[in-house]
Amino acid sequence: MADKIEKQFPIKVELIPSGGGVFEVVVDGKLIYSKKATGGFPAELTIMEILGKD
């Protein structure tokens, strides 16, 4: 997913390993997706759509 985001948008993706099943997507300090809040991993298209709106 990181590769596709960098190809589509002029941003640098940083992957930060964590534990406990945490998966969050943060852009410019703003949380745009949280696995904990939604209960599951996002579809790749979901993240691309969210990034395209900003």
| Predicted pLDDT at 7 | 92
Judged by phi (left if over 0) then psi (alpha if -120 to 50, else beta), residue 20 lies in: left
Which tokens sit at 54? 């900003």
pLDDT per position as a tens digit, 9-52 = 988 888 888 888 889 988 888 998 999 999 999 888 888 898 88
What distance lies between CA 34 and its chain's CA centroid?
A: 8
Overall pTM surpassing 0.75 (yes/no): no
Domain range for 20 is 2-53
pLDDT > 70? residue 54: no
What is the DSSP secondary structure assignment for residue 42, as one 8-state letter? P
C-alpha gyration radius of the chain: 11
| Predicted pLDDT at 1 | 85
Structural domains counted in the chain: 1
